[in-house]
């Protein structure tokens, strides 16, 4: 009986650690990049922006990416090169995934 209790306690500990590790990996620090839109690849779902000091960044986006501004879809940005954007994103395995895109139309 004592052996069974020890075995069950060990399993519970392993499951707790595994759940904690998986939740930590999904809670990545979100970053923000501001810059001008260079291009939109709607087929590959990739945005390219140029920020301060001509630094270029590429971001993938999904159907779950929030878009805030006059256009409510990333596809609406196609052909609007130069539009000022603020992109909230996470980085994983060398890929920047946009979670929120804020559009600031030029006045």
Residue 85 domain boundaries: 31-104
Residue 9 within any structural domain of the chain: no
Residue 3 confidence class, pLDDT cut points 50, 70, 90: confident
d(CA 44, CA 53): 26
Q: In sequence order, which residues have a C-beta less than 8 Å from that of residue 32 and are 6 or more positions away?
A: 86, 87, 88, 89
d(CA 5, CA 9): 6
Residue 6 within any structural domain of the chain: no
Residue 2 within any structural domain of the chain: no
> Does pLDDT of 101 surpass 90?
yes
- What CATH number is associated with residue 97? 2.40.50.320
pLDDT (tens digit, 9 = 90+) per residue, 75-92? 888 888 999 999 999 998
When divided into structural domains, the chain yields a total of: 1
Nearest to 32 by CA among 84, 83, 100: 100
Residue 38 within any structural domain of the chain: yes
Residue 20 confidence class, pLDDT cut points 50, 70, 90: low
Residue 14 within any structural domain of the chain: no
Residue 77 within any structural domain of the chain: yes
pLDDT (tens digit, 9 = 90+) per residue, 21-55? 555 555 578 999 999 999 999 999 999 999 989 99
Residue 22 within any structural domain of the chain: no
Residue 98 within any structural domain of the chain: yes
Task: Provide the mean pLDDT of the chain.
Answer: 85
């Amino acid at each position: 009986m004592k052996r069974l209790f020890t075995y069950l306690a060990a399993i519970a500990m392993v499951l707790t650690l595994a759940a904690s590790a998986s939740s930590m990996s999904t809670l990545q620090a979100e970053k923000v990049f501001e810059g001008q839109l260079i291009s939109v690849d709607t087929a590959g779902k990739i945005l390219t922006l140029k920020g301060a000091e001509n630094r270029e960044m590429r971001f993938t986006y999904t159907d779950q990416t929030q878009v805030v501004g006059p256009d409510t879809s990333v596809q609406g940005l196609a052909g609007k090169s130069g539009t000022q954007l603020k992109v909230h994103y996470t980085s994983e395995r060398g890929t920047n995934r946009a979670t929120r895109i804020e559009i600031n139309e030029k006045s």
